[in-house]
Structure 1
């Protein structure tokens, strides 16, 4: 999706819903937003909207990235915090050096 599409998506529904929709983790969505300077809703944003309270939605800042920039969010391989077979060999090489 484009940077502008991700911005619209992030401000239209909670990241947990976005993550579920695309089969990724909400942290991956947050990391993509941070990497491409897309402002994210602050904590409590969706609750305030639900109760009809005013919320501020900042404009997409296009100083460093174009709105047409393509963003690909891919899930990390394996599970976070889990041992991966290649990790042992890499760690062993670092210790030997």
Structure 2
């Protein structure tokens, strides 16, 4: 998926749900996000949402990688290819 799609996904639901959806470990997704400059929600983010508190969403940083660059994640790691 593209960096933009991964960014939107990471900010739409908890990492454990994403990992289960794709049959991966949440650590693999987290490492890929860190490697391709995708900010992740901080600890407590989803609990705040559950309790109706306001939270902020980090914008996608496109300094090193483009929003359309493709990120591939599997059990052995991650890779990125330019769009």
- TM-score of the two chains, using structure 2 as the length reference: 0.90
Bigger proportion of residues as strand? 2
Q: Give the corresponding residue for 2:25.
A: 25
Q: What is the distance in 1 between the residues matched to 2:14 and 2:58?
A: 16
Structure 1, unmatched stretches of 5+, are 77-97
Task: Give per-residue Cα distances to partners, 1:11-63, cap 9 Å, x unaligned.
Answer: 00000000000000000000000000000000000000011101010110111
TM superposition outliers: structure 1 runs of 4+ over 2 Å: none
Q: What is the distance in 2 between the residues matched to 1:5 and 1:28?
A: 16
Q: Give the corresponding residue for 1:43.
A: 43
Structure 2, unmatched stretches of 5+, are 77-83
Instruction: Please report the RMSD computed on the Cα atoms of aligned residues, expressed in angstroms.
Output: 1.1
Secondary structure of the residue that 1:71 maps to in structure 2?
Answer: strand
Q: What is the distance in 2 between the residues matched to 1:9 and 1:46?
A: 14
Q: What is the distance in 2 between the residues matched to 1:27 and 1:51?
A: 26
Number of equivalenced pairs = 77
Q: Is residue 65 from structure 1 mapped to residue 65 from structure 2 by the alignment?
A: yes
Q: Give the corresponding residue for 1:12.
A: 12
Secondary structure of the residue that 1:73 maps to in structure 2?
Answer: strand
- TM-score of the two chains, using structure 1 as the length reference: 0.77
Bigger proportion of residues as helix? 1
